[in-house]
Structure formats: structure tokens, C-alpha cells
Chains A and B, each alone.
Chain A
Amino acid sequence: MTPDKVDAVIVGAGASGGVVAHQLAHAGLRVVLLERGSRLDVKNFQLHDEMLTRGNLYPPFNGLDRRHPREFRHREGEAFQLIYPDSYSYPGLAAAVGGGQLFYGGLMWRFLPIDFRAGSEYGPISGSTLSDWPLTYEDLEPFYDLAEQHLGVAGEAGVNPFDGKRRRPFPLPPVQMQTGDLLIQKAARRLGYHPFTVPLGIATEPYKGRNGCIRHPCCNLFICEIGAKSTIVSALLPATLATGNCRLVTEAVVKEVTLDGKGRPDGVAYFDQGKTLVRQPAHLVILAASATETPRLLLNSRSRWFPKGLGNRNDWVGRNLMDHIGPSVVGFFEETTNEGLGPGPGVAIDDFYGKNPGFAGGGVIYNRTEALPMAFANIRPQTAPRWGKAHKEFQRKYFRRYCRLWVPGEMQPQFENRVEISPSVRDAWGIPVARLTHHLHPNDYALYDFFREKMVNLMREAGAFEVVSRPAGQGGVDAHQCGTCRMGNDPKTSVVDRFGRLHDLDNVFVVDGSLFVTSGGRNPALTIQALAYWVSDHIIREWKGGGWQAKGGRA
């Protein structure tokens, strides 16, 4: 049975797909929102429990879920390794309504103006496809604003001198810093830096019918039971469904974008409840499945018209796979540094955001201390015992006396770091899986080492008597995956135009982190969502009703 043709089918009910569904449904378009996971009913779970962290609960994170294999290698020429959700190199985002944002730490910063002109700022870099974005911070600002207002972001405007201009303050007051944040804030000021409060997608007070945050320490990597964390589930989905214009279909595993007899995309084919193959006809196809799954879907949509996959005429689909690269630095103190409260992130500095000596890019350094008993059992100085009486003593002495700094450092886009489809491995539905190639660029190592030194110094200045950090690994991507369907003005060096539309086809859009030209040096959630608002705005403005014909009439 084929469902009725709708105006738009959206693949993926995560951070970006949920935004597009909300906007199009409110504009009167009939939308079907497909999600391969389920719609979690938080009432069924006893949450705020350390055992129920991201990795333990939901597919595909659950290590025992063997339905979603992938392949991974670092470099061309190496053999691919079969990987599962519990493998280190598996880029994890939750397969559930809400997507990765269900479990995020709430980091909701805007990119800085410099991010959108990274190519011009840092110049050409050997081995990197670094480039400017086809839009500016000013272009995106109204949509950052919309995302902040709709989803709810808590922060303090006018404190960070590196911020771009904003049209109004944050809709919610900033989260209150803990002792460790204040120690780092003071130390940063002594070193001449400009500390500010981390902007968070957390309802710091009741917001638009949502509960205010209770500051439970089980926050980052946990679903928020009371809906204080800003996600499409807590903020947008109820209103989206209330329009009557959006049908949400869960456990719908999309196989491919379908074409009509003339090679024009006319919907998608998906396995309903994981079993029966169903065709969903639609005027518009909008891909919001993540920077791993969106290119996989395009590459799996091969036909005699598009033998290399949809939108892949120039072999750019899946290229430039990125995440972030940056050290995690833990400092132990002789005084109390945290009051055991969530969400965790407090203070941040942008003083090394770009224009650093000897390498390109940068990132925001921030304190993200999450004091949880089981996790802390594995946080130790290198020489400290891992078990026994001394371990137990350390556990009780330092549980409230440590801080962790982190930086989502900008990673270079490399053409050979990519998502392909496997010629040999298929998932539980018989669909060829994604195979990933990812290694670090020399610039990534240089950035890592630079930040490691700066952060160790900052931690010492704040009063830590012992500071622990590790050298960079070999690469690989996780939840900040991005870059694989680059937006750009030149079809030869990008996959979609500045409005997320495939260069080749006028009715297929990409709206997730795949769009990113560069990774930026900040967590990606708000920029992903601002881009989804930006693309939605374009679609609605061009929508003629009852059909779709883009301006210019490219067929």
C-alpha cells in the first residue's frame, strides 16, 4: 500500500529534521517525518541514573545491538574493520525521535563570524579543503535567533568580546557557575583572557510550558526526564504534531530516494516497522539523517540516471568527514570545586579562537565538570592506583575536588576522509552500510598540542596541584560528525547550494551537519538547527503550493 503523496518527506527526526518539520507544518505544508528509531516515552524510564547513560540505553549505542554495523579505517590502503555501536570508532548519534540532541550536553553556542570565512582567514592549507562558507554570520543571525527563541537557550549576552552581533539577549538567564568555574574564571582573568558563561540549551527557568532545570548531575549523555534540556522533543514536536500537518512515522528505516520514470526524485522507500518496504511519495525530499547516514542514503540511491548516487556527479558526497579535535584536561584541587550540580558546563574562553601561531583554526575552551560516582572511578592521575584502598580513598577525597576543561577544536576537512558505502557489508535490512575513512591532519595535531599546553596552564593557574591530559589519538569521528555534503556555490567543489539543495536536483535538500563547510571550534547543535531554519525559510518562500518548481527551473 502506498501512502498519499505529501508535500515533503523528511528523513530523520533529530535536531535538524525536527526543526524543518516544525517550520513546514506551520507554513501549511503536509509533511511526513520518518525516524528509524522509536519515540521514547520518558515516563517508562527511571532516569537521572548513571547506569542509564547514552551508551547503555538506546540503539544504536547499545553495544549489543548488532543491526547497524559499519566499517572503519584510518587511511586509504588500510583494510576496513567491521565496527558496531560499542566500538570506539563508531560515530554515535541516537536512533530515536530527538536524535543525538536527546543526550547532548546542552551546548548551544553560535559559531563566530570568523568561522564562516575560515578559508580566507587561514589561507589555503596543504592537504585540506578548507574554504569559506557560502553564507555569512550575518546571513545566519536571524535563524540563530529563531533557534534560540524556539528551543530555549540560556546565556549572557555582551560578555564575550569575540561574539558576533546579536539582535536581542538570550531568552533564558545563564546557568549559575559552580566553585570550579569561578576558580577558572578568576585564573583566566589573571592570564588576560575574557571568560564568559557557556550558553546552554537548558530551560534554566520554566519556559514555554516546559519545566525548569533541577540541576541534576546526570545531564550530559543522559536524556532529560523533565524536558528541561532543549531538544526538538521538548520544544518543537508537540506543536508540530498539533498543526495536523505532520505525520511522524517511527521505526522507519529508509532504503533510498525513489525516482519517477524520468529520473526525478519523487519520495523515499522505507521499511515500515522495520519489515515491509513502503514507498512514500513526496514533492520534496529532505535529508536530516546525520553526516554519516545522509551521504550513505544519497550514495545508496543509485540508478541509471545517477550511477554514482544522488547528487554525486562530481564525487563530493561523503567527502570531508569531520568532527572535533581537542584535548580533555583534568585538574585535581585541594579545595572543593563543584557542588555536585548539573548541567556541568559553566565558564568558557574564546581567546584562542583562530589566529593562533603556526596552525589554522581554534576552539572554545570550557569547563565541563560532571561529578558522577561511577565515571569518577576512572578519572585518576596517571600514577594513581586503579583499585584497592588507595583508589577508594582517592574517590572520597577528590570526588568534589576536580575540574575538567575541554575544547571542541576545529578539525581540518580532508578530501580523503569520507563516508562511502560498503560493497560487502549490509545492515539488518539488507542495505549497504556506511564505511568510513578518517585520520588526522598535521594541523589537527598542532592544534591539539597547542591547546593542551594552554589548558594545562590555565588549570594550574586555577590552583590544580595535579593536571592530567593525554596526547592526540589517530582520528575518528563521533557525535560532532559533519561536513559530508558540503554547501557551496561551485557545484564542482560542493554537494548542495547555499540553501541546502542538491546542485543536480531541485527538490532534494540536506539540512543536517553534513552541510558544514568547516567544523568550527564549537559544539554544532545550534548551528545545525539555525541552518535547518535557514533552509526551511528558503523552502517556504519558494513553495508555490500543490507542487514544487524551483526558481530557475532546473530539472
Chain B
Amino acid sequence: MNSSRRSFLYSLLSLSLAPPEVLSRALPRQSKDDELSFTPAQKELLACFCEQIYPKDDYAGAREVGVPDFIERALREAHPDWLAIYRMGLNATDAASRSRYGLGFCQVSFEQQMTLLVQMEKGTLPQEGWGRLDAREFFQMVRDHTMQGAYSHPKYGGNRDKAAWDMIGYYDFWTE
């Protein structure tokens, strides 16, 4: 592994996004190294979440540009200890949807998903089911990581085909 890559892996998510203390405190003391990825259901939940943050419109959305893959890879290679936070948060998001709408987060409408996330962002979602995790901070983290995945260099796994860069007119004339 060359140092460029290691730098990325080592520090990727520390860009103003280090887990707030509340999130850290919620961490289980030990996480098993052999569980370094999401279950298919969790991955789908993550994709639905990210698609809300960076939705498809006339231009590709989070799913299409690879944001969930970016996050999964970054967690696995740079911050395996945060996988537990993601799992807890995604499961709690799903549970909140079931409790509100009787259906999982990916099964409810786009507008219903948005309503839930707005509550998460504002901190008005009932704390039930979140344990020691703060829903608002979890939302902020996924939001920030989604922006990173969408707008960072494609070599990190998101921003597939430079879709986000082309959309806003950013042209990296040096590395191309």
C-alpha cells in the first residue's frame, strides 16, 4: 500500500467529521475485525439514507455515483470502529420508520423518508430505540460523509465518472 493510499485510509473521515464524543461514547468497547462490512439490508438502508442527502434529479443521485460504496469502503479501511455506530444508527432509523409508518425506511415514500430525516436533523425524533446514540449527530455524520463521497475524487470510490464534478463545473485539470 503506498503512502498516498494509506493517508486516505488512515484519515479519510477526520475532515471535520471526527465522531462527536456522543457518538464515541455509544461505541461498544470491542468490535470484531471479521465483521467489516454491512449486511445487504444495512447496505440498502444506507443507500436509501444517502439518496435522501444527495438525491437523483436531472443528475445522478448518491446510489448511482457510488456514495454507499464509498462510505462502506472508508469505514472498512479507515475506521472499522465506526461501523458499529453506522449499524446502530441505520437500524434505529429503520425502527423509527416502522414505529411511525409501520414499514421499513426503504419501504416508505420518499416524502415520508424526508420527514423522518428532517426530524433527525432537528433533534425532534423520539429518543426511543437510539440507546446512547444521538440521532441528530448520526444524521450529521451521514450527511457529511455523503457529501464527501459525492464530491471527492473518483479514485476514492464515490463521484463515479466524475458525475458530481461535471454537474457543478469543477474540472481537475492536473490529475486527469
Chain A residues close to B by CB (< 8 Å): 44-46, 48-53, 55-57, 62-64, 86, 214, 216, 340, 371-374, 376-378, 386-389, 392-393, 395-396, 399-400
Contact = CB atoms under 8 A, between A and B. Distances in A.
Interface stretch (B29-37, B98-106, B147-155): B147-155
Given A395-B168, A396-B167, A389 B57 contact: yes
A51 B152 contact: yes
Contact of A63 (B18, B53, B146): B18
A264 to B, nearest CB: 43
A220 to B, nearest CB: 15
B3 A63 contact: no
Contacts of A57: 7, 11
Contacts of A52: 4, 7-8
Contacts of A64: 10-11, 14
Contacts of B151: 50, 373-374, 377
B68 to A, nearest CB: 15
Residue of B16, B57, B117, B156 contacting most chain A CB atoms (<10 Å): B16
A387 B167 CA distance: 16
Given A44-B2, A44-B4, A86-B14, A340 B59 contact: no
Contacts of A55: 14-16
In terms of DSSP, what is the predominant structure of the interface of chain B? helix
Nearest to B17: A63
In terms of DSSP, what is the predominant structure of the interface of chain A? loop
Given A44-B2, A374-B147, A393-B57, 6 more contacts: A48-B175, A51-B153, A340-B169, A373-B164, A389-B57, A396-B169
Nearest to B151: A373
B73 interface: no
B7 A56 contact: yes
Interface in B19-54: 52-54
30 contacts: A44-B2, A45-B4, A46-B155, A49-B153, A50-B153, A51-B12, A51-B152, A51-B153, A52-B7, A53-B15, A56-B12, A57-B11, A62-B14, A63-B14, A64-B11, A340-B169, A371-B170, A373-B152, A373-B164, A373-B165, A376-B168, A377-B151, A386-B121, A386-B143, A387-B54, A387-B146, A388-B55, A399-B168, A400-B168, A400-B169
Contacts of A46: 4, 155, 175
Residue of A52, A374, A393 contacting most chain B CB atoms (<10 Å): A374
Contacts of B12: 51, 56
A373 B170 contact: yes
A172 to B, nearest CB: 21
B11 A340 contact: no
Q: Which 3 A-B pairs have the closest CB atoms?
A: A63-B14, A373-B151, A399-B168
Contacts of B4: 44-46, 52
Contacts of A86: 14, 18
